[in-house]
Amino acid sequence: VNVEIACRNATRYVVLHASRVAVEKVQVAEDRVAGAVPVAGFFLYPQTQVLVVVLNRTLDAQRNYNLKIIYNALIENELLGFFRSSYVLHGERRFLGITQFSPTHARK
């Protein structure tokens, strides 16, 4: 997923809501000219359902950045967040992804 960030205050941390995901890689870029911002590490904090990205340098205030996150997550059958459903058309079962994004379930 790619997320565009408008940095309002200088920071070395980016914190996003996340739950039930396995994050494989995080990249941050200032723009095509300036290039990558080195990522020191990242971790999931399940108690508050957030992903914390720690950077090697401070993001500048009033600048835009692009955050790219590579992750895996199960598409569940529970009728919350992003989930799987199905229907039958002409005797054939078809599957689709559906969203029910209340604030606490959108992070799944």
Report how far residue 99's alpha carbon sits from residue 106's, in angstroms, rounded to the nearest whole number: 8
Per-residue pLDDT reduced to its tens digit, 25-38: 999 998 766 789 99
pTM: 0.77
Give the mean pLDDT of 44-68.
95
Quick check: 108 pLDDT over 80?
no
Domains and CATH numbers, the chain: 2-73 (2.60.40), 75-108 (no CATH)
Helix (H) or strand (E) holding 79: none
Q: Name 15's bridge partners.
A: 52
The tokens for 21 are 């995901």
